[in-house]
Each structure stands twice: as structure tokens, then as C-alpha cells.
Chains A and B, each alone.
Chain A
């Protein structure tokens, strides 16, 4: 009955070309970079307001203050209490969120298109006229302190935090948890939040990105109306250069008595977003640990059954972020899993990838880029990256071509430049009594049990 050969995968149909949607760029008089992208699929709008109030600009004693200030924006404005602000937004179905990172603060909003004007007015009020009432600031601070406590008992969060501390030299912001520590958060008061916002919530070199069912002229008018009087630049950021904590390979164990699994991080300082190796490194990471069929996942999960999953990632930031392999494995296979991770890094750097792997990763990365441009929110956050990292306007129009141009030789050069198996720090959160001796037997380097900070 079958008139076709089931044993052969079907051939692809003709490719429908698809470009990154057109973005209109307009500058507001206060230096805010306005970028508007009209999409007409559904009556929704997504918006990001970005400005340079980031954690990377803070000295250690104020670590977490930018995060706390962003979270405390929901505490209301000079005219509205926190509850009134939330009610005004949610009554019209608007979702407002604030996320604060190393580079800055991003206030994002989604709503139905016919509610944009009202919702945008509320967003502007929340950012430009924050009230920071005492009880709301106290609450936000207590929440953040409780989250710090939660983090210290969550094995995955604990491992990532310890890894940052072991990858980056002391004193570099990236070495510390983004949301700060008990010591840096406990003294935060409404005055400190108010001072920080007054200085750092400034439009210069920030961006307003709006994507969805909209009229660009109306957006410009709306932005001028609501944000036109907002002026100034954030203070010069706390400059720092990134150094590794050490170049000697070592193993650090954070003891959790009776843990049934070990959380593992293996890595070191990576590179920055502006690196010329961005595309070859992205391809290298895909085939190492960025997809299901990556070397690490096929080895640790599909061959050995050590884990539910393993991944590797470069954290590309304005300055060099981490390169890290992450997984959690059964306690009894901790040492074999670490051995396999280090071996995979060595094999990739020494032996290089096969042409077929490079082609597969390149195709995956190029294809999946198009898949991630479906929603207004996805498009808005892509455009935001251009503003945050100062990338060229046509960056996404050439993105896939640049991925497809990556050769095996490019990948070899990039991995040799940016992955250094002899310098990795191995962080394991697990039951030290069971994993210490097997980890020592691997002879990767000195093994030390450390306390939680």
C-alpha cells in the first residue's frame, strides 16, 4: 500500500525567506533611542524601557541595590500606592515587569493594543515618579533577604553562585551574586533607593523598544508626551576589568549532607559580547553542550544515564562573562561525570569538531533564530539587545548569513582561544563524605571543601 520509502527522511520543501521585521529608529530629544517595530498578527504590544542602572556599575558595598530598586518600583508612585498602581495596570490587563541585570534595568510591559496609551502612562509614572514609601521598601528588602536565604539552600543556585566566586577574581562584580548579599542589602533604606534611582534612572544611552500592533507616529508622540521631560545621563559606571580568580585547575566542594545528587559547574572566565568570535563560539557551544544532540548531553545522558540533562553556555556580557558547563548527577556518579565533562572539553579543544557537527550546529542556530521571532515580546527583546550591547542596526539582517559563514577552522580557533580545560574550576555541591575521595582520585587538581558564604 505504501508508495514511498518510509526508511528515508522526507526532503525539505522550498525555503520561504524571512527577514527580521523592519525596525524604525527615531531619537527623542532627551537622548533616548526609540525603536519601533510594527507587527499586525494579533492585537498585542510588548515594550521594553532600558536604561543603564545596572549591577555591574555598583561597588561591592552596594551590591544588589539596583535589583532592589527595580523590584521596589511596584511599591507605588508619588501619587499612587503600590496597590493602586497594580490595580490600575491589571484592571486593563497590562503586565508590567522589572528586570535588573549587570548592564542595566529593563522595564517591560505587555498589553492589548487598545490599552497601550493608558498602560504606557502608568509605566512612565512608575519609573519617573517612584514613591518608595517606607513600608514598601521594607517589604521589598525583606523579600530580597529571604530570597538570598532561599538561594543558599537551593543546590542549583548555590552551585552557580559558588562557581561565579571561583571563576572571577575577588572584587569583580561578576564574582558576586547579582542580587547582593545579606550585608549589602540589609542597610538599604528608602533614602538609598531614592538616591540611586534619581542618579541612575536616566534616559541618555537608554532605549525604548516597542513591538506589536501599533502606529510608529503615535508611539513617538506618546513617548515624547510621557518621557520628554525626562533628561540626563546615568553616572559613570564603576569601571572594572575582568580577571580570573586563578589559572590553576581546582575542585571545590560545597558540602550538603545526605544529598542524593551533586550539582556540578565546570568553567572559567569566558569572553564578552563584542568578541569577533561570537558566531564561531556560538556554534562551538551548540555542539559542545547547547543542544540535545551535543557531545556533552549524548555522553552524560544518553550513553551514561548520569543525568537528566547537561548544558554549556557562554555568558556574553559587556565584559567577559562566564563559560560554564552545568549539570546535576547522582551522587555515586559524581566523579565519573566530572571526568567526562573535562574529557569532552579537552577533546573539543585538542581534536576539534567534525565538519558534520559544525554544519549541524550552524544549521540549528540559523534555523532556530527564525523560530524565535514569532512574538512581539521576542522581537522587542532582540531589538533591546542592540541597544544594550551597542550592536549595529542591521545586525539581525546579517545574523543568519554570518552564522552560516562559520567554518570548522573558525570553530577550532575560537575554542582554542576561549576554552581552557587546564584552567577550569570545578564546583560540586553535594555530599562531601561520598564524593571527596573519588574526586581526588581523578587528579584534576587540589580538592577543597568550602563553606557557604
Chain B
């Protein structure tokens, strides 16, 4: 088995900005990646969806960069860029030919330091429309599109920061004001709440000088305020909670979710292996049993969310054939999940082997390296954890998986969300 040796170097600026460098000069490409420690979990009641709307505003220009200029300059350089908002963080990233590293750093620094000056009502109204269309396209006009907001509401209590979805509600998106943009910026978009990673082809001293030049004069912000609501949460749901949706969907689908230990917990690795064992690849337990042998499902998906706040979420879903009974599909899925108490060693090893290939292949891209390094720095102050990712998984034993199944995958820790095609009930 291979051992990862991705170079990792840590630095920081006086204003608190954390820096990770990871050099690889094989191809003349460099990735710049910034993670801010803010996501949908930081949104108070009445402002759901704001962290994501704010991410859109970050592309509307800053003091020295007119609207759309950020995209224009990076595309002109032959680079790619994007951003994403999630529960615990928001990230921004560019991949450019290595001779344009300074451009990417200048652009990122300008919006970290001088974004608010460029905001106006017209830009906010425009991006509000864009985001509402994003919600319509990806959630409302899409079969099963609202599953995550429904599931989060089932698994996490009303007061918990994960109770609401990242996209938020239309009403809250409508309610956002320019003042919200300014105060969110001053509160969360501060260097002491951010990590910048440069990965790929760059010259070490030069890169550090550039970061100092562009980011050094940005002022440190105040300490980050505590999360709104009540982040404390019982490790188990305590019962089976249910949601039933009669909708314009083509096929029945049963989504089952479980509270699991947070990403920061040592036990999270067990959840990752369990989810791989269940749903990764075509020799996985759910594919083999439900899709191939019993033929009650057309497809299966499993996922373990790497979430930080109190508890995380693992899910397994099965999509049935036309006319299938959702209750029978649910029973079959439950049986296989509970059957994991008798997981076998070869299944554990298969899941780890596939994860290993996927991880190593991901690391072929400097953008992926940078993203993982930023995450490990922001979440754990430990970017070198990337090189130990495989060890963490390899340490998981079949006994761990069985114990996990006994404790976590039973009916006393279960949320069930059923989509039933309209007209078939």
C-alpha cells in the first residue's frame, strides 16, 4: 500500500491569516484556495441562505476590481475559478497557469480587504434574483431537489445550526439587506477567520512575499461570535422520525439518515468506512443486495457528511422501480443497514482500497490538494493530516464497523424520508 508524501508547509501573517504551501512543479499550474470559517451554521433565524448569497456578492467587485472583472481577468489568463458555501465554511478558488499566481492573489486579497466599498443595492438585487433562480433550478424544479432541507429538519433539532439548509428560504433571501452584507463581511470575512493555500507550481519565497504584499495590510477582525441557536445535540435521534412527500417524482425513493459523530471525532473514520462498505462501488453491500440480487432498487447512494458541529449525518438512499411500494423498499433498506452488525473483514478492506484509489486520484489535481489542505488547516490546524488520511481509514476494524452499526444504524437513531410519485398512492 502506498504512503502519501504531499509536501506541506505552514505559515501565518500578523493579522492571523493562515497559510499553507504545497509545492509540485510537475506541470506549470498553480491553485489558490481560501477557506473562510463561515457557513450556513452561522446564520441566525430570519437570515437562512445568507452565507451563500454573500458568496455571490463576493464576485460583484471590490474597491479596485469592478463587477465581473474577477472572472474576466482569470478567464483571460486561461484559468478557472469558483466558490462554494457549505454548513461550516465557504471556499473560493482559482486554478491558473503558474505565471499568473500574483493575479489570483491580488484578486482574492482585494475582496478580503476591500469588498464592502464596492457594494450597492443594484448588485444585491441582481444576485438575489440569480440565487433565487439557483434555488428554483436545483431544489424546487428538480425531482427530489428539496431532500436535504427536509432531511436536515428531521435529523437536527429546531435550535441546531444544521436545522436549515444552505440555500435557505426564499423569504429570508428576499429579506437580506445591504447592511447585512456589510456586517457579515466585517464579522466573518477577516484574515483571522481564513486559510489560504497555494498548491502546485510556484517559487516558495516569492509566493510568501506576494501573500505578505497583498494580504499583509488587511486588518485583523474581532473574535468570531459564537454560533446562533443551540449547537448542543444528543448523539442519537432517540426514535425513528419520518417525512412523507407525495410529489412529481418519477420513481419512489427512500432516504434514511442517521446522526453520527462529528468529523472532528476519531470515530468518524468508522462512519466513512461503513458508508463505503455499504454504497461505494458495485461490490458494495447495498448495490449487491438491493440492486443486483433482490432487484428492489434501481440505484443506491450513501454518504457521510464531514460536519463539525456537535453531530454529523450519514445517509443511505434507495430509488425503487416504477410502482414499487416505498414501505417494502424501506424495509429492505433497513434490513441491509441493520445487517451491518455482521459486516465481514473483506468488505472493510474493499471499502478502504477504493477510498485509497479515489483519494490518490483526487490528489493528481492541485486544486483538490489545495482544497483538502485548506480544510485540514481550518478545521484541525493540521494540514499534514492529508498525508495520514489513509492511515486513519486503515485503522478501522470490522469490529469497529459492527459496533457502529449496532449503536447508530438502528430504529432509535433514524430519520426516514420517503418520496412517493403523485398518482401512485
Partner-B contacts on A (CB < 8 A)? 1-2, 4, 6-7, 9-18, 41-44, 74, 82-83, 86-87, 89-95, 110-112, 135-136, 138-139, 142-143, 146-147, 149-150, 152-155, 259-261, 263, 291-293, 298, 301-308, 328-330, 360, 363-371, 373-377
Contact B353 A90 (CB under 8 A): yes
Given contacts A14-B99, A16-B99, is CB(A112)–CB(B134) below 8 Å?
Answer: no
Contact A91 B350 (CB under 8 A): yes
- Which residues on B sit within 8 Å (CB–CB) of A86? 281-283, 287-288
Besides the contacts A44-B357, A90-B282, A142-B321, what 4 more A-B pairs have beta carbons closer than 8 Å? A7-B64, A9-B73, A305-B126, A308-B130
Most buried by A among B63, B105, B291, B364: B364
B139 nearest CB across to chain A (Å):
10
For residue B125, CB closer than 8 A to chain A, the reply is yes
- Which residues on A sit within 8 Å (CB–CB) of B117? none
Contact A146 B141 (CB under 8 A): no
A147 and B354 alpha carbons, distance in the complex (Å): 26
Contact B295 A298 (CB under 8 A): no
A330 and B134 alpha carbons, distance in the complex (Å): 10
Contact A360 B97 (CB under 8 A): no
- Which residues on B sit within 8 Å (CB–CB) of A2? 217
B416 nearest CB across to chain A (Å):
22
Given contacts A139-B291, A371-B95, is CB(A330)–CB(B133) below 8 Å?
Answer: yes
Contact A146 B77 (CB under 8 A): no
A330 and B136 alpha carbons, distance in the complex (Å): 8
- Which residues on A sit within 8 Å (CB–CB) of B106? 6, 9-10
Q: Select which of A87, A293, A376 is within 8 A of B75 by beta carbon.
A: A293
Residues from 279 to 299 in B contacting A, C-beta threshold 8 Å: 281-283, 287-288, 291-293, 295, 298-299
Residues from 160 to 189 in B contacting A, C-beta threshold 8 Å: none
A394 nearest CB across to chain B (Å):
20
Q: Tell me the nearest residue of chain A to B203, going by C-beta.
A: A13
Contact B143 A153 (CB under 8 A): yes
A186 nearest CB across to chain B (Å):
13
For residue B244, CB closer than 8 A to chain A, the reply is no
Given contacts A86-B281, A90-B353, A374-B366, is CB(A13)–CB(B130) below 8 Å?
Answer: no
Contact B64 A12 (CB under 8 A): no
What are 26 A-B contacts with C-beta separation under 8 Å? A2-B217, A7-B64, A14-B99, A44-B360, A44-B361, A82-B292, A83-B292, A86-B287, A90-B281, A91-B350, A112-B2, A135-B295, A143-B299, A149-B250, A149-B322, A150-B143, A152-B250, A154-B143, A154-B250, A155-B142, A261-B133, A261-B141, A292-B71, A305-B125, A308-B134, A367-B97
Most buried by A among B249, B293, B356, B361: B361
Contact A15 B97 (CB under 8 A): yes
Q: Select which of B77, B100, B138, B250 is within 8 A of A150 by beta carbon.
A: B250
- Which residues on A sit within 8 Å (CB–CB) of B121? none
- Which residues on B sit within 8 Å (CB–CB) of A16? 28, 97-99, 201
Contact A43 B360 (CB under 8 A): yes
- Which residues on B sit within 8 Å (CB–CB) of A7? 64
Most buried by B among A18, A291, A308: A308
For residue B53, CB closer than 8 A to chain A, the reply is no
Q: Tell me the nearest residue of chain A to B105, going by C-beta.
A: A10
For residue B29, CB closer than 8 A to chain A, the reply is yes
Contact A149 B360 (CB under 8 A): no
Contact B137 A308 (CB under 8 A): yes
A259 and B143 alpha carbons, distance in the complex (Å): 12
Q: Select which of B27, B96, B356 is within 8 A of A374 by beta carbon.
A: B27
A74 and B281 alpha carbons, distance in the complex (Å): 11
Contact B217 A1 (CB under 8 A): yes
Binding site secondary structure of chain A: mixed
Q: Tell me the nearest residue of chain A to B364, going by C-beta.
A: A375
B83 nearest CB across to chain A (Å):
12
Q: Tell me the nearest residue of chain A to B81, going by C-beta.
A: A292
A158 and B242 alpha carbons, distance in the complex (Å): 31
The 7 A-B residue pairs whose C-beta atoms are closest, nearest first, are: A367-B78, A305-B129, A93-B353, A10-B102, A86-B283, A16-B28, A375-B364
Given contacts A2-B217, A139-B291, A305-B127, is CB(A13)–CB(B99) below 8 Å?
Answer: yes
A83 and B404 alpha carbons, distance in the complex (Å): 25
Q: Quick one: CB contact mask for B26-37 with A, threshold 8 Å, 1 for yes? A: 111100000000
- Which residues on B sit within 8 Å (CB–CB) of A307? 130, 133, 137
Given contacts A261-B141, A305-B133, A374-B29, is CB(A360)–CB(B75) below 8 Å?
Answer: yes
A204 and B201 alpha carbons, distance in the complex (Å): 41
Contact A90 B143 (CB under 8 A): no
B309 nearest CB across to chain A (Å):
28
Q: Tell me the nearest residue of chain A to B202, going by C-beta.
A: A13
A91 and B293 alpha carbons, distance in the complex (Å): 20
- Which residues on B sit within 8 Å (CB–CB) of A147? 298
Contact A301 B130 (CB under 8 A): yes
Given contacts A13-B102, A95-B354, A367-B78, is CB(A18)–CB(B28) below 8 Å?
Answer: yes
- Which residues on A sit within 8 Å (CB–CB) of B298? 142-143, 146-147
B219 nearest CB across to chain A (Å):
12
B392 nearest CB across to chain A (Å):
17
- Which residues on B sit within 8 Å (CB–CB) of A305? 125-130, 133
Contact B321 A302 (CB under 8 A): no
- Which residues on A sit within 8 Å (CB–CB) of B68? 292-293, 298, 302
A262 and B77 alpha carbons, distance in the complex (Å): 34
- Which residues on B sit within 8 Å (CB–CB) of A87? 283, 350
- Which residues on B sit within 8 Å (CB–CB) of A135? 295
Q: Tell me the nearest residue of chain A to B295, going by C-beta.
A: A139
A89 and B287 alpha carbons, distance in the complex (Å): 15
A260 nearest CB across to chain B (Å):
5
Q: Select which of A74, A112, A260 is within 8 A of B282 by beta carbon.
A: A74
- Which residues on A sit within 8 Å (CB–CB) of B222? none
A304 and B97 alpha carbons, distance in the complex (Å): 32
Given contacts A9-B106, A308-B137, A375-B361, is CB(A360)–CB(B72) below 8 Å?
Answer: yes
For residue B49, CB closer than 8 A to chain A, the reply is no
A9 and B65 alpha carbons, distance in the complex (Å): 9
B128 nearest CB across to chain A (Å):
8
Q: Select which of B77, B102, B128 is within 8 A of A363 by beta carbon.
A: B77
A74 and B67 alpha carbons, distance in the complex (Å): 50
A92 and B288 alpha carbons, distance in the complex (Å): 18
Given contacts A15-B97, A368-B79, A371-B95, is CB(A91)–CB(B133) below 8 Å?
Answer: no
A312 nearest CB across to chain B (Å):
15
A146 and B249 alpha carbons, distance in the complex (Å): 12
Residues from 256 to 312 in B contacting A, C-beta threshold 8 Å: 281-283, 287-288, 291-293, 295, 298-299
Given contacts A9-B103, A10-B103, A93-B354, is CB(A42)–CB(B360) below 8 Å?
Answer: yes
Q: Tell me the nearest residue of chain A to B362, going by C-beta.
A: A375
Contact B364 A42 (CB under 8 A): yes
A98 and B52 alpha carbons, distance in the complex (Å): 36
Contact B126 A302 (CB under 8 A): yes
Q: Tell me the nearest residue of chain A to B349, going by C-beta.
A: A91
A145 nearest CB across to chain B (Å):
8
Residues from 86 to 113 in B contacting A, C-beta threshold 8 Å: 95-103, 105-106, 110
For residue B47, CB closer than 8 A to chain A, the reply is no
For residue B327, CB closer than 8 A to chain A, the reply is no
